[in-house]
Amino acid sequence: MIKILIINKVVNGINLIDAIRGRRTILDYKPDKIKRELLMEILTNASFAPNHHMKEPWKLKIYEEDSRSKFGEKVVDSYIRLGLLKTLNEGKLKKAREAYDRFFTSVPHHILFYMDKEDNGGYLDDENFAAICAFIQNFQLLAWEKGIGTMWTAKETLRDEVFIRDVGLSPNEHRLVAVVQVGYPNKVPKGKERTPIQESIEWIQA
Ligand SMILES: Cc1cc2nc3c(=O)[nH]c(=O)nc-3n(C[C@H](O)[C@H](O)[C@H](O)COP(=O)(O)O)c2cc1C
């Protein structure tokens, strides 16, 4: 039997290079939920991300339906606490809250990624954080391959102890990694060019 090595394999009509280069961060979503089975399939495949000592450190809270508004409110509370919306007077703040609520309820799923702390911000935590970032990128690419858009977000809110408690976790025991918005894209933004990689490389031979 002849074994054929297929390089640049096409899966469901999109190859890896196209997924990596074509994926866009999506801000504007269709209201349709993603079927639970499909989301589970993508998450299962994403879990084949590299992770040291097979700790599989990723933990997820998935906010859907009515929980989105409350989750968004907690996020905005944190922005206010951290001074990210400090220039707004009361009237403008109310409008901003309404706009955030429209955004949070316009996205079908918000996934909060977090992990258990192992050595309180030490190297082991860095390893686990890195593994979750690998999971998230797998997830983004696998989702894109199914026509699903995502937006990876990370702000100081992830370190806001009140926010961590607001989502039912403990600042001593848990570290938040990211919030990823998920849904079918309504609008796909134009691609962004990248700086030639050579500018970031130093070749060292002696
Ligand atoms: C750790 C991290 C945090 C990010 N936080 C945000 C964010 O808070 N808001 C946002 O709009 N995009 C955020 N992004 C997405 C980037 O803005 C986006 O990937 C970048 O502009 C390139 O666009 P592209 O993903 O469409 O290629 C984040 C991405 C990463 C990896």
**Which residue segments constitute the domains of the chain, with CATH numbers given?**
26-64+108-186 (3.40.109.10)
How far, in Å, CA of 153 to CA of 177, rounded?
Answer: 9
- Between the CA of 94 and the centroid of ligand 1 the distance, in Å, is 26
Whole-number pLDDT of residue 87 = 76
Closest C-alpha to ligand 1, atom 31? 152
pLDDT on residue 4? 43
Encode pLDDT of 56-77 as tens digits: 999 999 999 999 999 999 999 9
Residue bearing the CA closest to ligand 1, atom 29: 152
C-alpha 25 – ligand 1 centre gap (Å): 7
> Is any atom of ligand 1 closer than 6 Å to the C-beta of 153?
yes
Any ligand 1 atom below 6 A from CB of 188: no
Q: 15 Cβ partners below 8 Å, 6+ apart? A: 8, 9
Residue pair 131/46 in contact (Cβ under 8 Å)? The answer is no
In the predicted model, is pLDDT for residue 52 greater than 60?
yes
Closest C-alpha to ligand 1, atom 15: 152
Whether the CB of 152 sits within 6 Å of ligand 1: yes
> How do strand 59-64 and strand 109-116 relate by DSSP bridges?
antiparallel
pLDDT reading at 150 higher than 90:
yes
Is the beta carbon of 155 within 6 A of some atom in ligand 1? Answer: yes
pLDDT tens track for 187-198: 999 999 999 999
**Nearest alpha carbon to residue 72 among 92, 36, 96:** 96
Residue-wise pLDDT tens digits, 16-41: 999 999 999 999 999 999 999 999 99
pLDDT at 64: 98
> Is residue 88 within 8 Å of residue 96, measured between CB atoms?
yes
Spatial CB neighbours of 36, under 8 Å, sequence gap ≥ 6: none
Report which residue type is found at 89.
N
Supply the pLDDT for residue 5: 44
- The number of CA neighbours under 13 Å toward the Cβ of 90 is 0
